[in-house]
Structure 1
Amino acid sequence: MSASPLSPTATLASLTAAAWALRTQFFVSGALFATWGVHVPTVKAHYGLGEQSLALAMLASGIGAVVALAHAGRVVGRFGPRLVAALMGLLLCAAVASLLMTPAYAGLLITMVLFGGTASLFDVSINAEASEIEHRAARPLMSGFHAMFSLGGMVGAGAGSLLPAWGVGAQLHLTLAAALALLMVWAACGAMLPMAGNAGDAHPLSLPRGPLALIGTLAALGLIAEGAMYDWSVLFLKQERHSNSSLAALGYASFSLAMAMGRFAGDWVRARVAPIRLLIFSGLLAALGMSLALLVRAAPAGLIGFALVGLGLSNVVPVLFSAASRIPGVAPAHGIAAVSAVGYLGMMAGPPLIGLVAEHSSLTVGLGCVVAFALFMAVAAPRALKAANAS
């Protein structure tokens, strides 16, 4: 999917303002994901769910995302990123505020479908404009945009850790977070560049073939691991390590902070470390961090382990997207779009998969999948990136 071209009258000032608006949107997206993440134990307790039922609720979110992704190119292509971001931001905030409002499990499933669908459309719309801004600025900006997502995750998780200690209840936290996020989204939409919709620019969801298939698989595995941290890290510390709610929320915050730091430094690192070596190191570091969190029973070890996972995963997507853009005979935009689609599906499908494993074994065993996926990334990196002529 490509966005409509910017107006020729766009000035440097408007481009700078739009870039900061996009940073705000990515920050809000990360904060809302974190708000859901820190309240996974709350949702589980509120509805009286086991791991399997909780995993099915997460799967409902994945189904909403899959349906939305199948039409994302058409929707954003027709209406433009600014309008889609405004409308999806409204619905996404409504879904977050409603997580604990429904009395029945069926209501939660409907809310999660809305959450997954609106989050994915919001993500596609802001990434579409981010790509155009980066093109117009003629310098790397994407890592910085995605770093703001991680920073938002850290702030959202930090708020989830502090507010219970101050006597703020879960529903009030969700409502306040959603209201503040909506104000930020709409304020940022006002500064987004006027990229008019174009129905002829719509493309359906595409899946990778040939060399792109392995790159897409690695992206999916990396994002499964990332999604596992979003949805299960807090519950792991609370349930498996018997941490209180404030300390458990810091598990998500430590992961997000480390990922943000890795992404803010991402362009500098990628300029100095070869892609294959960087991806191998990233996979090994993520596997080491997850192993530390799972094998050492002290809660601080979990915080350190989650931070290492975040640092290890921080540059996986930029490396793989760069490789996808250099496949011979494949347009860069198509390569990135195909890998992005599979990767996002992995991010949405991974947490329910881990939940199903946890239901039949334990959450520790379920999160052990992250170790296996990270090791596979490290082992498969040379073949994947050489196939893309990315070495």
Structure 2
Amino acid sequence: MTPVVGASRALRAQFFVLGVMFATWGVHVPTVKGHYGLGDQALAIAMLASGVGALMALAQAGRVVGRWGPRTVSAAMGVLCCASVACLLAWPHYAALLAVMLVFGITGSLFDVALNTEATEIERLAAKPLMSGFHGMFSLGGMAGASLGSAAPALGLSPQAHLLLATGIGAAVALLASRAMLPVPEKEAGETHPLSLPRGPLVLLGLLASMGLIAEGAMYDWSVLFMKDERASQPSTAALAYASFSGAMALGRFGGDWVRARMSGTRLMRASGMLAAAGMALALALPSPLAALLGFALVGLGLSNVVPVLFSAASQVPGVSPAHGIAAVSGVGYLGMMAGPPLIGLIAERASLATGLLVVVVFAVFMALSARRAMRGH
């Protein structure tokens, strides 16, 4: 087995761990709320602490990954990310939760940038598209983490026992897998740019990533409620909204590298945006719950390769290291992911949730129309 093949397998395991950690946190949001006796506002502030930590980390991620290399950063941040999730219920004080969430945001973001930087290096050495498949493992990890969390009570696991089990295995896998990752190239190690801020072509790439993540976050946060309130679906049917979207997204990512090998980035971004827009329009236009589920699946399929394509493009911007390019685009994208759900909620409160979700259609069309300019030279 060649070093590139070994590194590719190790990286897939790392992306899987990252997906499991985010899903494990998501599963335990109600548990955390009950453990600390929080209201919605206090819980939102705790989530904001994670976002603040992520933005703090992304501002320095290019320098950190460039200095220490993806292998070292992924090993350290992978273990610390798992440890922060393990500590979600460790203390009774709200201040401790805020500190844990801040660390989770910092370590999770640095872990993410390190993995995507390694992914671009493996793509370069393998001379073929691989990024979508790596992100597919993140999606698969999210599904696995959510499934384990749902099954934990039936298995007799307390919330803290489940956290320790999931994070213990995750930390061990992250640490072992990092040993097979590629060493950092010398040109990367010497870079000392102070901040990973978007400039030049990275501005538009970051804007498109932000729009893609707003649309993705809208599906995660609002699709089930849309089925329940706007389509009068039973809870069991409404729950399928999340499953149809995430399942289609995982499927699209695992097939995305095959598509990217046969289609230019411009054409793929254009097709992705139009497919996502058509899917959301279908879900909003027809009153049938089945049409909504089909529409959500098309949105997932359309958005599945947006972030992998944009990250690959960001890693190839002339004069910018892959780590800095990815961190810059990630930072703008993360801002969108944080701002998106409140934006849709505000529109929904003033008009309706269906009106709020029109944002997804508008942003998807903008991605399609901007594809040529954003992907110029890639």
Normalised to the residue count of structure 2, the TM-score between the two structures is 0.81
- 1:107 equivalent in alignment to 2:77: no
2:204 is the alignment partner of 1:214 = yes
* Aligned equivalents of 1:353, 1:224: Cα separation in 2: 5
For residues 278-334 of structure 1, the C-alpha deviation after alignment (integer angstroms, 9 at most, x for no partner) is: 4344334435555777899998887655543322210112343455577xxx50755
**1:33 maps to which of 15, 18, 22:** 22
State whether residues 61 and 324 of structure 2, in contact with CA within 8 Å, keep that contact through their aligned partners in structure 1.
no
Give the aligned residue type for 2:376.
Answer: N
Measured in 1, the distance between the counterparts of 2:38 and 2:101 equals 15
Query: Are residue 43 (structure 1) and residue 32 (structure 2) matched?
Result: yes
Q: Is the 8 A contact 2:211 2:336 kept in 1?
A: no
Aligned position for 1:266: 256
2:348 paired with 1:347 = no
- Which position in structure 2 is the counterpart of 1:60? 49
Q: How many angstroms does 1:372 deviate by?
A: 0.6
After superposition, the Cα gap between the structure-2 partners of 1:290 and 1:146, relative to the gap in structure 1 and judged at 3 Å, is same
Residue from 120, 123, 136 that aligns with 1:131? 120
1:140 aligns with 2:110: no
C-alpha distance in 2 between matches for 1:266 and 1:143: 5
Q: Distance in 2 between matches of 1:22 and 1:339?
A: 16
In 2, the alpha carbon distance for the partners of 1:238 and 1:167 equals 32
Structure 1: 5+ residue runs without aligned partners?
1-11
Percent identity among equivalent residues? 54
Distance in 2 between residues matched to 1:19 and 1:363, nearest whole Å: 48
Structure 1 CA distance, aligned partners of 2:119 and 2:40?
37
Deviation for aligned residue 1:251:
5.6
**Could you tell me whether the CA contact under 8 Å between 1:65 and 1:117 is conserved in 2?**
yes
Corresponding position: 1:381 with 2:368: yes
Determine the C-alpha separation between the residues in 1 that align with 2:227 and 2:153. 14
In the alignment, is the contact (CA less than 8 A) between 1:89 and 1:122 conserved in 2? yes
Aligned twin of 1:98: 87
C-alpha deviations, 1:192-222, integer Å up to 9, x for none? 2333786522333333345543332111111
Give secondary structure in 1 for the equivalent of 2:168. Answer: helix
Tell me by how many angstroms 1:137 deviates: 2.0
SS of the residue corresponding to residue 206 of structure 1 reads coil
In structure 2, what is the equivalent of residue 83 of structure 1? 72
Tell me how far apart the structure 2 counterparts of residues 210 and 381 of structure 1 sit (CA, whole Å).
20
Instruction: Decide whether the 8 Å contact of 1:57 with 1:112 is kept in 2.
Output: yes
In the TM superposition, residue 121 of structure 1 has moved relative to its aligned partner by 0.8
Aligned residues: 374
Aligned residue for 2:169, secondary structure, equals: helix
**Aligned alpha-carbon RMSD (Å):** 3.8
Partner of 2:214: 224
Offset at 1:128? 2.1
Aligned residues of 1:228 and 1:351 also touching (Cα < 8 A): no
Cα distance, 1:99 vs structure 2: 1.8
Q: Which amino acid aligns with 1:138?
A: A
Contact 1:41 1:234 in 2 (8 A): no
Structure 1 pair 309–111 and aligned structure 2 pair: CA distance change class (3 A): farther
**Partner Cα distance (2:62, 2:226) in 1:** 38
Determine helix, strand or coil for the equivalent of 1:124. Answer: helix
Secondary structure at 2:2 match in 1: helix
Could you state the TM-score of these two structures normalised by the residue count of structure 1? 0.79
Q: Structure 1 pair 128/324, CA: closer, same or farther in 2 (3 Å)?
A: closer
Per the TM alignment, residue 169 of structure 1 is displaced from its structure 2 partner at its CA by 3.3
